[in-house]
Amino acid sequence: MISPRPDGPRRGGGVPSPGPTSARCSKAGLPHLAKSALAVVTGASCAFAAALVALNLADGSGPATRAAAPWYQQIHKAPIAAAGAAEKARNGDGARLSSQERATTRPKARCTVNRVLAPSCGAWWGVAVNDYPQPKALRAFERKIDRSVAIYHRYYRGKKVFPSRTDIALAREPGRRRLLMLNWKPDAGESWARVASGSMDGHIDELSAHIKQKFPERFWLAIHHEPEEEVREQAGSGYRAADYRAMFRHVVKRFRRNGVDNVVFSMIYMGYSGYVVKPWFKTLYPGNDVVDWIGFDAYADPSVKTFAHLVDRAAPREHKLGIAGFYRWARKNLSNRKPLMLSEWGGTEMSGDPRDKAELFRSIARQIKSYPALKALIYWDAQNGHKFGNTRVDASDQSLRAYRKLGHMPYFNPPVPRR
């Protein structure tokens, strides 16, 4: 499959290339940055615990009535403020779901969540919003899709301290239950080899103290997502695949040594088959003892019409070599037990036919159960410019309506755990 994906300054656009680019990806809390195109195996990407507080008494779902209110009303069906007239005009009132379409989100069977935040039924529904300020952008997105998201995805790099006050406030916002997915590049200004040798230990210790004091909830932490295109196998580069593996392992073990036990560590790939065939590719994987989730980032170009194509079909050259799509490849070659996530994904408007994105969304309803290891889908909602296109869910009334309906499926509404 050929699948362009967005990117920030790390890529300048154009066709996929394993070579260096003029700038590193700078998603240091800047998820709004435009992204450029790549061809991928399942899609490509460069690529944002549990939080809960009492619901507002004013809307009748607060502590006084929680016992009587079903969990799905407390979590994802909490009242969402009506959009302003301008936003209604932009989104199109006609795209709202009817009461008949909006089926109950209660699962048929009891659903549990394990210690690494994997639900026993269904999958989390999340977003990386690309406008600022983030709280306003996130709430606007939730109004558009007529539900709260389960995962809020945000990016950091270098010596930033996280979760930030904003992250914590969003995770604990009254009337919502949002899990945090934080994405950190510890090697900014360093190298993978230097971090593996301890150059960021002081900051990891500071982060450890901050997390233990400020945010005991479980949350995901991805360590330098999408490392494939930055691998430099030359001796001494500091960016060999083995250096990445050593860095990831060192960071995780440092956090654990410091007593941080609420972080769910995630390894995030681009999923681009041009890298899967590299002799060093398997070396990147840090090991099952330090990886809790495996993620990949999939974006649909005009040739991608269905979810199955998006997540599990190799690009033509690799397909001819008998290489499976990234979903099957990861299950066979990395782990057949770890939960998987689409840490970023999106449909574009590049075909010129607004029906295509809506059909992509509709195909998920038909096909998602064929991919039971996928336990989280985090949408990249952005206007990415002419080189990649518009992945916003409301690029058309058709796509917005299809996305809203999808988000109300019981499958995408497992119960978010309490703090």
* pLDDT (tens digit per residue) in 149-165: 999 999 999 999 999 99
**Catalytic residue IDs:** 226, 344
Bigger pLDDT: 232 or 92? 232
* Banded pLDDT at 76 (limits 50, 70, 90): very low
Hey, is 220 helix, strand or coil?
A: strand
In this prediction, residues 259-288 reach a mean pLDDT of: 93
In this prediction, residues 277-283 reach a mean pLDDT of: 94
Q: What is the pLDDT of residues 337-371, one digit of tens each?
A: 999 999 999 998 877 888 899 999 999 999 999 99
Q: What is the pLDDT of residues 177-231, one digit of tens each?
A: 899 999 999 999 999 999 999 999 999 999 999 999 999 999 999 999 999 999 9
* Banded pLDDT at 108 (limits 50, 70, 90): low
- Alpha-carbon distance of 196 to 64, in angstroms, equals 51
- Alpha-carbon distance of 103 to 97, in angstroms, equals 10
- Alpha-carbon distance of 368 to 40, in angstroms, equals 20
Is the domain covering 57-412 a CATH 3.20.20.80 domain? yes
* Banded pLDDT at 304 (limits 50, 70, 90): confident
Q: What angle do CA 329, 330, 336 make, to 5 degrees?
A: 115
pLDDT of res. 387: 62
In this prediction, residues 396-405 reach a mean pLDDT of: 96
Highest mean pLDDT among 285-299, 348-362, 388-402: 285-299
Q: Which of 161, 174, 232, 237 is nearest to 200 (CA)?
A: 161
Q: Which of 152, 111, 48 is nearest to 411 (CA)?
A: 111
Q: What pTM was computed for the model?
A: 0.77
Q: What is the pLDDT of residues 308-333, one digit of tens each?
A: 999 998 877 888 888 888 999 999 99
Bigger pLDDT: 356 or 2? 356
